[in-house]
Structure formats: C-alpha cells, structure tokens
Amino acid sequence: MARINIGYEWLDRLMPEGIGIPSSTIISGPGGTGKPLVGFAFVSSWLNAGGNVILVPLQYPSIEFTRETMEKLYGVKLGWYVKRVFFVNFNPSILSIEKGEKGVIKANLLKPKIWDNVISMAEGSFDKSELGTLVFSAAINLLLFSKTYRNIILEKLKEMIEKDKSRSYLFTVSTSAFKQKIQMLENAADNLMVTRMEKPMNLYFKILRVKNARFLGEEVLTPFSEKVLKGVKEITESQRKRIIPIVSQI
C-alpha cells in the first residue's frame, strides 16, 4: 500500500509511517474540540503532494472561512489549486444540487445519491492525479439529525468509508449526539483518531488506530492557539444553531 506522511512535525512523530492510500480516517470527539483544524493538516498535505480534494465542511457557511483557516494555520492558499479543489456547501433546503462559482456547489447531502453525484461531478472537473482524491467532510454528524434520512445516510457513509477503495476519506464527527451511531463509523474506518478540549482552550489529540502501520498512542497537545480555537468555535456553533433546526424537521 502506498503511504503519505502528513508533513507536520507533531503529526509525523505520532505517525512515522504515515497513512495508507487509499484509506478512510475518522477524527472524533465531543463538539467544539477543533477536529477540523487537525483535518486541515491532512488536506494541506494531500494538496501539496499533488492530490485532489473534495471539501465538504458541513458546519462552515462558505468556502471563505475554509480558505482563511487553511492559509492561517498551514500557509496553504486554495487559489493555488484551482483545478484540484472542489467545495461543497451543505444546503438541506434545496432538492439536489445547485452550481455556484467555479469549483463550488450547494448540495442536499441528506440524500445518499447526492453524495455519488457530487463526487462524480468533482472528479470530472479535476486534473489527473496519481495520488487520487481525498474527500474531506467535517461535522458529518449533522446529517443524523434528520429523522427521515438518519439511518439511510448513516449506512451510505459507512459503506463509503468501509468499502470504497477508489479514493480516500477523512471525516470529522462529534460524539456529543448519536454516540452509538457514530461508533459505527469509527469501527468502519481504517484509521481512528480522537480529540478533547481542556480549559481554558487546550486541544489534545490522540491516535487510536492506523491500519498496517506503526504509530504512537500517546496524547499530545496540539499547536493551535486559544485565539484560533475560539474563532473556529464561534463560527461552527453559529452554523450548527442554524442548521440543526432545519435538518431536524426533514
């Protein structure tokens, strides 16, 4: 199996052999523990190594916040990768998919088939890459608030990360709700990692499983500042308060 190192000292020390390509990774933990910030390290490394990325941060209102965060934390400008980045804005109020600016769409990701359509659309727009595609989705648990689609979308997500080896997946999930259902995704993933927060604003990270590779199981303090963590938390909490009531009615 081919492998990729993340390229950031604190992560490479924990994963000296990197992670497999393709593979699926879950980063889980209570809500508000900065999971996407760790996920963006993987995204940045994937792009720097020549891969294509489908960005599906369900709790971020626009691509601008993602652009600013990745540049601030990792020095990566998404504008460098115009033909290798595709952004999906979650909108549960629309029927299926609506196109926006180039490389940006809105999609109702509660419907399993829409995931297939989005990925196909994105990969059809990408330049060829030997590394392939990474699908990065943050706050995937938001989809489970839908009573109508909860079980079928859970099965779809589980199938993607467990059986689809044509691309790599990285999902961040909150364990603050639907913990048993989230555990199904954790068990299905090749690689499992967790975060937790300690007061005042200290984010800790630990690896529980990496498929076919050595790793260190120690917990480490991440390098993110209190200012960065507070800023991200404010944005994500605002978006969750907007999205959850809508999804809960579907």
Q: Residue type at 86?
A: F
- Per-residue model confidence (pLDDT) at position 237: 82
- Per-residue model confidence (pLDDT) at position 18: 94
- Per-residue model confidence (pLDDT) at position 238: 81
Alpha helical stretches, state H, 53-188 = 63-74, 112-125, 150-163, 179-188
Q: Which residues, other chains included, contact 50 with Cβ-Cβ below 8 Å and sequence gap of 6+?
A: 129, 130, 131
Find out whether 116 and 133 touch, Cβ atoms under 8 Å. Answer: no
DSSP state for residue 151 in the 8-state scheme: H
- For the structural domain made of 2-248, what CATH number should be given? 3.40.50.300
- Per-residue model confidence (pLDDT) at position 1: 65
Opening angle at CA 193, ends 190 and 199, nearest 5: 170
Tokens 């604003």 found at: 201
Find out whether 221 and 202 touch, Cβ atoms under 8 Å. Answer: yes
- Per-residue model confidence (pLDDT) at position 64: 86
- Per-residue model confidence (pLDDT) at position 44: 94
Weakly modelled stretches of the chain, pLDDT under 70: 1
Find out whether 115 and 128 touch, Cβ atoms under 8 Å. Answer: no
- Per-residue model confidence (pLDDT) at position 212: 93
CB-count exposure of residue 115 (10 Å: 0-12, 13-18, 19+): buried
SS3 category, 103: coil
Find out whether 169 and 24 touch, Cβ atoms under 8 Å. Answer: yes
Find out whether 6 and 15 touch, Cβ atoms under 8 Å. Answer: yes
Identify whether 16 is preceded by a cis peptide bond (ω within 30 of 0): no
DSSP state for residue 144 in the 8-state scheme: G
Helices (H) and strands (E) in the chain, counts: 7, 12
pTM of the predicted structure, to 2 decimals: 0.94
- Per-residue model confidence (pLDDT) at position 45: 95
CA 75 to chain centre: 19
